Amino acid sequence: MSTFKAPKGTYDLIPPDSATYLAVREAIAAPLRNSGYGYIETPGFESVELFARGVGESTDIVTKEMYAFETKGGDRLALRPEGTASVLRAALEANLHKAGNLPVKLWYSGSYYRYERPQKGRYRHFSQVGAEAIGAEDPALDAELIILGDQAYRSLGLRNFRILLNSLGDKECRPVYRTALQDFLRGLSLDEDTLRRAEINPLRVLDDKRGDVQKQLVGAPLLRDYLCDACKAYHEEVRELITAAGVSFEDDPKLVRGLDYYTRTTFEFVHDGLGSQSAVGGGGRYDGLSEMIGGPALPSVGWALGVDRTVLALEAEGVSLELPASTSVFAVPLGDEARRMLFGVVTELRKVGVAADFSYGGKGLKGAMKNANRSGARYTVVAGERDLADGVVQLKDMESGEQVAVGVNEIVAELEARLS
């Protein structure tokens, strides 16, 4: 062991478990790729100001959790705590919205960083796969994203997740509600921090997880009762579209989420097997964000699903993904000449697309066969001096145990045929 360990709140993805992470990322991306979303990748850090303006000055993410630093050149940067602000920044910078093809639909996958108190399911480095549909106000787009998230989780075999849905209103109706909520909150006995939050961002108080706060919030005015007609109709349409798609959801009038940019549709995917960190993914509409970061009005909607928590959800449900064996053929040479010949066979196999690996380090038959077993390969190809003299290799089927001699010149074609 080295003297160094992974930093607090982080962990390494190592084989074989890392294969599950890759498969989860791919399973989440598949429905997006299939629905007109193009892949986007942005830098791991951005100007601090982008997140301060985009995510919100008063959010925990910006005030407490950001890895912000000053570069030697004097730039104030931060490791990205979330994906939406960066993706929108990149889309605006590349003028994707001007190509006359709205909405611009993008998906991404990567690492995110938040200086949080680590616990199970909550890390300082985590990964998300996300999607953003930029530049269209259409309830079908909100519905599409919710349906695709549902499809992603179902394709992984998850069942015990729920979709919570709410509308946060728009710039017409939310301010009215905000005032009503503030009036209500001022009458409660709350600690100073929470009272301050009630002044800056009262909706966030609804999200307070503490029991004594939640108790006092019974009877708080609900945004649902303040929605303007346009927001009500929009939300109703979203609900109908996802219902018609056979996706079940729960109305959660208190769902607010931790980011300031949301308007209208907000939703969260929660999993009941995860304890306190139950949100596996979340998203919503952010019609004002583009203007907040200096762009034109571009109503948009998106989500991000957490890969780490999705893997925990799979564990909680006892689902193990059917991962294809990483190695189909394992080659075991006995002696230098056999090594040269079999190394050539392995190179050929790889060229034709057969996953093949090799026993390195001049191991004896016993040790090499142990490696072959561990590799999960369906076939082992063994060759020694005698085989070379006869112009053959020994092909062993690791499932049946059956072994046959195959000509050196036929082995690649034989394995290709058997594995197809």
The phi and psi torsions of 353 (rounded to 5 degrees) equal 95, 10
Per CB under 6 A, 280 contacts ligand AMP:
yes
Stretch that binds ligand AMP, among 16-24, 118-126, 289-297, 352-360 (CB under 6 A): 118-126
Amino acid at 143: A
Stretch that binds ligand AMP, among 71-79, 114-122, 150-158, 351-359 (CB under 6 A): 114-122
The phi and psi torsions of 342 (rounded to 5 degrees) equal -70, -30
Among positions 120-159, residues that touch ligand AMP (CB under 6 A) are 121-123, 126, 128
Cα separations in angstroms, 19 against 14, 278, 323: 8, 23, 8
Angle between helices 139-155 and 229-244 (to 10 degrees): 40
- Total residues contacting ligand AMP by CB under 6 A comes to 18
Among positions 213-272, residues that touch ligand AMP (CB under 6 A) are 257-258
Residue nearer to ligand AMP on the CB measure, 121 or 169: 121
Amino acid at 34: N
Structure tokens, 93: 């910078």
Angle at 412 between CA 322 and CA 403, to 5 degrees: 75
Among positions 302-361, residues that touch ligand AMP (CB under 6 A) are 304, 306, 308-309
Q: Residue 174 and residue 177: Cα distance in Å, rounded? A: 5
3-state class (DSSP) for residue 232: helix
Least distance (Å) between residue 109 CB and ligand AMP: 12
Q: How far does CA 139 lie from the centroid of its chain? A: 24
Residue nearer to ligand AMP on the CB measure, 114 or 285: 114
**Beta-carbon count within 10 A of 284 CB:** 28
Stretch that binds ligand AMP, among 93-101, 273-281, 290-298, 325-333 (CB under 6 A): 273-281
Stretch that binds ligand AMP, among 26-34, 68-76, 301-309, 351-359 (CB under 6 A): 301-309
Q: Residue 147 and residue 133: Cα distance in Å, rounded? A: 14
**Cis ω for the linkage preceding 16 (within 30 of 0):** yes
Least distance (Å) between residue 142 CB and ligand AMP: 16
Of 85, 133, 231, 279, the one binding ligand AMP (CB under 6 A) is 279
Structure tokens, 352: 């034709």
Residue nearer to ligand AMP on the CB measure, 165 or 279: 279
Q: Residue 111 and residue 301: Cα distance in Å, rounded? A: 21
Residue nearer to ligand AMP on the CB measure, 122 or 350: 122
Residue nearer to ligand AMP on the CB measure, 59 or 151: 59
Per CB under 6 A, 80 contacts ligand AMP:
no
Least distance (Å) between residue 23 CB and ligand AMP: 17
Any bridge partners for residue 164, and if so which? 250, 268
Of 135, 282, 288, 333, the one binding ligand AMP (CB under 6 A) is 282
Contact set with ligand AMP (CB under 6 A) = 82, 114, 116, 121-123, 126, 128, 257-258, 279-282, 304, 306, 308-309
